[in-house]
Amino acid sequence: MLKIHNTLTGRKELFEPLVSGTVRMYVCGVTVYDECHIGHARSAFVFDVVRRYLEHSGFSVTFVKNFTDVDDKIIKRANELGKPWQEITATYIDAYYRDMGRLGIKPATVEPKATEHMAEIIGLVQVLLTKGAAYQVNGDVYFQVERYGSYGRLSKRKLDDMQAGARVEVDERKRHPMDFALWKGAKSGEPAWPSPWGPGRPGWHIECSAMSMKHLGETFDIHGGGADLIFPHHENEIAQSCAATGKEFARYWLHNGFVQINQEKMSKSLGNFFTIREIFEKWRGHWSGESFQNDLLTAEVLRYFLLATHYRSPLDFSDIGLEEARNTLNGFYGLFQRLEESAGKEEQGDVRIQPLLERFGDVFGQAMDDDFNTPVAIAEFQRLRSEVNKLLGIGLSRSARVDALGAFRRFGEVLGLFQLKKWQFNVCLKPVPMTGEAHLRAEAVIVRGSQALTDEEIERQLADRLEARKRKDFAKADAIREALEERGIIIEDRPDGTSRWKR
């Protein structure tokens, strides 16, 4: 039984979708005026896992994630760069797909754009005007918050309380300071669409109401986004949607916590944010081998790191945190490699593998059912890793090993983890510094990695080393091992005298 923490009630609630067996969810995507940062990555990972787990649990999920592609910030950026605003949005939509692809985020079922829903948006504004929930001032249309009795329900604030500390210059034309724009009349040179109120563009909040209703219906199951969207964005969405339809809007509201840097919110004004692209560049030097693989490794480390903290908690982003995630993953992939080896016919551990895997399936489900508790789910993976390692020490047959590996792959897929074919051992112990001598050293490792040895060459070296060890020429054996290590190849000797290697 899945329980979800609902921001609307502040409690964990049993999740029961409107239509049994199906889930309709909407997540606020990005405003495409700049590159995505780690905060976007966290949100993307969180709702990716929510979606994956719902599907794993047997629900048919319709997942809508929008692009805000018309907005004041986009106009501002376009003016700064002297480019058409469409060029800005196109650029950053491309960047978004590039980043999300690298991160391994499954695309949403529908990815609507505000600019492609003008008819729906205008229609919704008209309904609100007709119902007296909105009013027109020159070319603008505002939503009248005092006409919606439950305003503040989501963010748990009262209109009166907010006025007290408001630091905004009050627009004289508004009837209430918290009234917000549904439609903004265009000044010259601004993007504009024709409307009954003159040329203009939608306000920020109305697009999400219009698009979610179009693609999911007037009432749907889950609405999500970052915690910073609770107010005013989601509060306003609820107000205008409920005012328009008279029905319940989204039933469960999920919000992920912030990513912080050194205990502070990551923000552009503090200058302490990292883009997703920067993370990939910085971590390239952790890996050797083919560069296309490096992105997969970095994405897995990042995903593991972010999912190791509960989605509602604040999370401090740090290189050390990523390194710990890397170290742990290294242990998992070491086990996977051993499970795949063909050697070993013993099977004393076999009788214990099925109960172990069954128990794992249960506790994994319990953890995820408890408001998507990925840290506990991951802890159970770690426990399983340890248990399987022990059984491997006792002896597992081929089929038992296949079963064990299958469990890691199958349940790992729900979190988006453990899907790599090959893990590449790190050759750098620190992230690549952006400057200085250490940077050059790290670059040298990358170059060595790019001139990676072929499997055949490595196998030949291993044969030489095996020969040397048989002759008890350990100096030579160690020299071969060190030479390979220089090039990012790690050797592990097995008890029977043969060796396994990994990059």
Partner RNA sequence: GGCGCCGUACCCAAGUGGCUAAGGGAGCAGUCUGCAAAACUGCGAUGCGGCGGUUCGAACCCGCCCGGCGCCUCCA
Q: Which residues make beta-bridge pairs with 23?
A: 61
Pick between residue 181 and residue 244 the one whose CB is nearest to RNA. Answer: 181
Cα end-to-end distance, the chain, whole Å: 42
DSSP 3: E
Pick between residue 439 and residue 494 the one whose CB is nearest to RNA. Answer: 494
Of the candidate spans 151-159, 292-300, 399-407, 436-444, the one that interacts with RNA by CB under 7 A turns out to be 151-159
Which residues, 6 or more positions from 370, have their beta carbon under 8 angstroms from its beta carbon?
3, 12, 376
Single residue of 260, 288, 424, 426 touching RNA by CB under 7 A: 260
Rounded least distance, CB 452 to RNA, Å:
19
Of the candidate spans 56-64, 372-380, 412-420, 454-462, the one that interacts with RNA by CB under 7 A turns out to be 372-380
Which residues, 6 or more positions from 121, have their beta carbon under 8 angstroms from its beta carbon?
114, 202, 206, 207, 210
User: Left, alpha or beta for 363 (phi > 0: left; psi -120 to 50: alpha)?
Assistant: alpha
Which residues, 6 or more positions from 351, have their beta carbon under 8 angstroms from its beta carbon?
none
Of the candidate spans 111-119, 136-144, 220-228, 354-362, the one that interacts with RNA by CB under 7 A turns out to be 220-228
157 belongs to the binding site for RNA (CB under 7 A):
yes
Rounded least distance, CB 424 to RNA, Å:
14
Rounded least distance, CB 189 to RNA, Å:
20
Site string for RNA, 17-46 (x = CB under 7 A): -----------x-xx-------xx-xx---
For residue 477, the one-letter residue type is A
Pick between residue 126 and residue 329 the one whose CB is nearest to RNA. Answer: 329
14 belongs to the binding site for RNA (CB under 7 A):
no
228 belongs to the binding site for RNA (CB under 7 A):
yes
Single residue of 58, 165, 246, 436 touching RNA by CB under 7 A: 165
* Whether 406 contacts 361, CB under 8 Å: no
314 belongs to the binding site for RNA (CB under 7 A):
yes
Of the candidate spans 13-21, 265-273, 286-294, 340-348, the one that interacts with RNA by CB under 7 A turns out to be 265-273
Return the sign of the alpha-carbon dihedral for residues 6, 8, 14, 18. negative
Residues 35-94 that bind RNA (CB under 7 A): 39-40, 42-43, 73
Q: How many CB atoms lie within 10 A of CB 267?
A: 15
493 belongs to the binding site for RNA (CB under 7 A):
yes
Of the candidate spans 104-112, 291-299, 342-350, 367-375, the one that interacts with RNA by CB under 7 A turns out to be 367-375
Q: What is the enclosing helix (H) or strand (E) of 180?
A: strand 180-185
376 belongs to the binding site for RNA (CB under 7 A):
yes
186 belongs to the binding site for RNA (CB under 7 A):
no
Single residue of 258, 280, 364, 501 touching RNA by CB under 7 A: 258
d(CA 2, CA 370): 6
Pick between residue 18 and residue 379 the one whose CB is nearest to RNA. Answer: 379
474 belongs to the binding site for RNA (CB under 7 A):
yes
Single residue of 212, 309, 424, 426 touching RNA by CB under 7 A: 309
Residues 200-219 that bind RNA (CB under 7 A): 204
CA 497-498-503 angle, 5° bins: 135
* Whether 449 contacts 488, CB under 8 Å: yes
Pick between residue 429 and residue 447 the one whose CB is nearest to RNA. Answer: 429
321 belongs to the binding site for RNA (CB under 7 A):
yes
For residue 14, the one-letter residue type is L
Single residue of 54, 100, 124, 392 touching RNA by CB under 7 A: 392
The closest of 336, 302, 309 to 416, measured between CA atoms, is 302
The 3-state DSSP class for residue 141 equals: strand
Secondary structure (DSSP) of 204-260: TTHHHHHHHHHHH-SSEEEEEEEGGGIIIIIHHHHHHHHHHHSS--EEEEEEEPPEE
331 belongs to the binding site for RNA (CB under 7 A):
yes
147 belongs to the binding site for RNA (CB under 7 A):
no
Single residue of 101, 194, 196, 393 touching RNA by CB under 7 A: 393
Rounded least distance, CB 19 to RNA, Å:
26
Rounded least distance, CB 291 to RNA, Å:
24
Residue 47 has φ and ψ, to the nearest 5°, of -75, -20
375 belongs to the binding site for RNA (CB under 7 A):
yes
The closest of 110, 113, 108 to 89, measured between CA atoms, is 113
150 belongs to the binding site for RNA (CB under 7 A):
no
Which residues, 6 or more positions from 111, have their beta carbon under 8 angstroms from its beta carbon?
29, 64, 65, 66, 67
Pick between residue 192 and residue 308 the one whose CB is nearest to RNA. Answer: 308
Residues 419-458 that bind RNA (CB under 7 A): none
